A and B are shown apart, each in its own frame.
Chain A
Amino acid sequence: MASFSIKLFGKSLRNPVMNASGTLGYGKEIEPLWGIENLGAYVTKGLSLKPHHGNPTPRVWEERHGLINSIGLQNIGVDRFFNKYFPFFKEKKTPIIVNFFGFTEEEYVACAERIRPDQLIIALEMNLSCPNVKQGGISFGKDPAMVHRIVKEVKAVTQIPLIAKLTPEVKNLQEIARAAYEAGVDGFTLLNTIPSLVVDIQRRSIPIKGGLSGPVLRPVALKAVYEISSNFPVPVIGTGGIMNYSDALSFIMAGACAVQVGTATFIDPYTIPKVVQGMKEYLKQVRCPRIGNLMGAAHSPEKNNFEL
């Protein structure tokens, strides 16, 4: 029997498949269809120090093979999440990764500080795509010096491993990753959605500006995973347009230790359990004893010693 569990920051996850932040509600919403314990870890909706109401509608827009969203980080706030929803994950013995953000440096730090270490909390995932209101709304993740500073500040207030979720809208992703790494980040999630907009030619207007997700993003995210995992000795979680288990495997082979499924869940809400099942069957088929053996396999195909 092939081993499907992975170790992440010293903790064991039953499989390497997670949801992407904000694509599985607060977790309970999927329960009528499948149990949350199917996940390797549940990634929370982006949480902030104070509750945040988000943007007016339209918040979602379909593109060819993609989805643009402008939810605006609506959330109930970090404290209410832990009071209202964390007991559910405790009961289900499902590890979580806490995605969080702020509109100022102070808010990031204060939010991270509120989260007490717990056996079930694998890591904090810092959303660096958030606009910095003190600097004209430019996202924190675009400026290497800012990334360095904010990662360092957050690291100083928490014992929980810290993952940086990077935005693709940067001049040089390596440089941003370097800044985060040197500030002590423990891992990366790659990538966040790509900023985009839609033009309505009938009304001659722009109905939505937001983040593009879905299969259109996949090759871009794969390249980021491939490059960052080659250059930094920390775990990389791959996400971007994973629709099925083959897509998930491509991220693992590109160097990710785990994957996050997002937009696909909106089309087929059973995508996550199907990806888990498909990957398990693949391992069996190629007689690979551990999923970890496939990690980064595409970097050096000659070293692979299991069946192709």
Chain B
Amino acid sequence: MTTLERLQALLQKELDLAPERLAPDARLEDLDIDSLRLIEILFSVEDAFAIAVPAGADELRARLVTVGDLAAYIDSLLARKANPAP
């Protein structure tokens, strides 16, 4: 299962949304994911992927526009965890 697929499954469960609405280019805003809901989702993401999301809410909101953005961000955190900077 790819990161994207795992994320889609998680979002489907958290938001009670049909899977076809969770395409990589789907905008979080269009899924009614406001700043608070995003915080809640990140909490679940941290548990599901065993990672820590370091950034604050405002920064994440600016960086993460689509479902694909969020999947890529999780991948970057997983990579950092696998290969910690020296």
Do chains A and B interact in one complex?
Answer: no
- A residues near B (Cβ < 8 Å) are none
- B residues near A (Cβ < 8 Å) are none
